[in-house]
Amino acid sequence: MSDRTPLKVIMNWHLLTFNAGCINAGGFLATGKFVSHVTGFATFFGVDFVDDRPESALGILSVPIFFLLGAFISGIFVDRPLQLKRRPRFDYVMGLSAICLFLAAGGGMVFLAHLGRFGELIRLDQVYILLALLCLACGLQNGAITTSTGSSIRTTHLTGITTDLGLGLARLVTHRRQSKQFNQEVRSNLFRLGTIAAFVAGSAMGSWFFIKLGYRGFMIPGIISSYAAWRGHTEIAG
């Protein structure tokens, strides 16, 4: 993170991290699966494979493809234009993410009889489309933020940022107090703490939303993603 990064940009990054925590909480409460990262799907594949459930194993392994697809689409509309010295279309990416979330909310309400009651233990085939939409939305957002921050920030999971925080704390011990490197590391660590706090807050508040609203809770991150798309559009128009 640069010293010259505007505060409003940092706040927008934290807002999208909050958004990811909210989506992840909703995905877990609705399906029993975490959707903002792909690690869990690899674990579920291993468990199902050992339990001699090959169809379920292959099904769960295919879900992260939609996260990959989201990152690919983001690369086309954000990373590729930046490489070609053109304007990135952050608004397209976040707009598509918002559409996925609104479809998740609407689909859950319309096809409630098929999906089952929110939070019930249900089969993979019943929630496959829902998982695909949520993973696609997370892949789109993560790809866009990763590219726009020079691969220094990922909003949909905390593994990397927690590792960076641990290394950053070690650097505080290494650098001389009041030096340029020390001050830079303090700012970076505060940002990392803010990112973790935003994800945790999104998970907590998201859980409350989804417990109260069920599938309609996906409208909350859908609105946040729509706001991000609008911000991206106004910056291009400006």
Q: What is the pLDDT of residue 109?
A: 58
What single letter denotes the amino acid at residue 161?
Answer: I
Phi and psi torsions of 20, nearest 5°: -65, -40
Q: What is the pLDDT of residue 84?
A: 93
Which DSSP symbol is given to 218?
Answer: G
* pLDDT band, very low/low/confident/very high, at 236 (cuts 50, 70, 90): low
pLDDT in tens, 47-98: 888 887 878 788 888 999 999 999 999 999 999 999 999 999 999 999 999 9
Q: What is the pLDDT of residue 161?
A: 86
Residue 218 has pLDDT above 70, yes or no: yes
Strands (E) across 1-148 are located at: none
Number of alpha helices (DSSP H) and beta strands (DSSP E) in the chain: 11, 0
> Helix, strand or coil for residue 53?
coil
Q: What is the pLDDT of residue 205?
A: 95
pTM for this prediction? 0.87
Residue 124 has pLDDT above 80, yes or no: no
Contact 156, 20 (CB under 8 A): yes
CATH dotted code for 7-156+200-237:
1.20.1250
Strands (E) across the chain are located at: none
With residues binned 3-state (H G I as helix, E B as strand, rest as coil), the percentages for the chain, rounded to 5, are 80, 0, 20
> Helix, strand or coil for residue 175?
coil
Q: What is the pLDDT of residue 110?
A: 56
Residue 174 has pLDDT above 90, yes or no: no
- Of 2, 15, 20, 4, the closest CA to residue 160 belongs to 20
The sign of the CA dihedral 89, 225, 149, 72 is negative
Residue 113 has pLDDT above 60, yes or no: no
